[in-house]
Amino acid sequence: MTFTQTDRTKLKRLPKRGHFDRETVYGILDEGFICHVGFAPEGQPFVVPTGYARVDDKLYIHGSQASRMLRSLSGGVDACVTVTIIDGLVLARSAFHHSMNYRSVMVFGRATLIEDREEKMAALLALSEHIIRGRWAEVREPTEQEMKMTTVLSLPLVEASAKVRTGPPLDDEEDYAMEVWAGVIPLRLEAGEPIADPRLAENITVPAYARDYKR
């Protein structure tokens, strides 16, 4: 299945890099875990980074009840949510044609406030499992007071598109004869060795989900 193109999601520049199939869009969303949320209450634009999780055809975002972003979005303000994964630096023979290999998603819509306790808890579980699978089962669940202090929003995945660049640099034909190195420097997100809390008891070992963490 594919997303229906709209005036907001249709790619006007380099449309061949556009993807509207759900497999591509959801694959990017499921690999990333930080999005940037753009909104403009009363005409003043803001862009705020935050964690997220996808469950079926919804994006969940959460934060403090005092968050201006969440208060604005729960009031019906239009949102533009973006997720970007950088796969490499593309070094061309000319400065003009340098680029990056990337996968990105843009979602437009209006979020709704989740007030049902069970759905809210399920969304928080999904957020935790999306960022680090297996952690939720070991930690203390939120108390009633903590639940009241936390806002969770649901954004329907209806108006969305992906944009992807892969491959080597694309130089002007006459520049290929230049004696200048060109190619791609691959990049990836890599976890380091876990660092224990200084107050951690000595008999507690690093769990596998932390020791072997990767995306």
Q: Which of 19-23, 52-56, 62-66, 146-150 has the lowest mean pLDDT?
A: 62-66
In a domain, 153, yes or no: yes
Count each helix (H run) and each strand (E run) in the chain, helices first.
5, 10
What is the Cα–Cα distance from 158 to 13, expressed in whole angstroms?
A: 22
What is the Cα–Cα distance from 151 to 159, expressed in whole angstroms?
A: 23
In a domain, 135, yes or no: yes
- Quick check: 105 and 17 in contact, CB under 8 A? no
Beta strands in 118-207 (DSSP E): 150-156, 159-165, 183-186
Task: Provide, rounded to the nearest whole percent, the portion of the chain with pLDDT above 70.
Answer: 100
Domain housing 157 = 15-211
Cα dihedral 28, 31, 32, 33 sign:
positive
What phi and psi, each to the nearest 5 degrees, are found at residue 37? -105, 115
Where residue 75 sits, what CATH number does that domain have? 2.30.110.10
pLDDT tens, residue by residue, 172-212: 999 999 999 999 999 999 999 999 999 999 999 999 999 99
What pLDDT is attached to residue 117? 96
Give me the mean pLDDT over the 54-74 stretch.
94
Give me the mean pLDDT over the 29-55 stretch.
96
| Model pTM score | 0.93
What pLDDT is attached to residue 191? 96
Question: Closest Cα to residue 95, out of 151, 37, 171?
Answer: 171
In a domain, 9, yes or no: no
pLDDT band at 105 (very low <50, low <70, confident <90, very high): very high
In a domain, 5, yes or no: no
In a domain, 3, yes or no: no
In a domain, 201, yes or no: yes
In a domain, 151, yes or no: yes
In a domain, 8, yes or no: no
Q: How many structural domains compose the chain? A: 1
Average pLDDT score over the chain: 96
Please list, residue by residue across 91-105, b when 16 or more beta carbons sit within 10 angstroms of its beta carbon and e when fewer do.
Answer: bbbeeeeebebbbbb
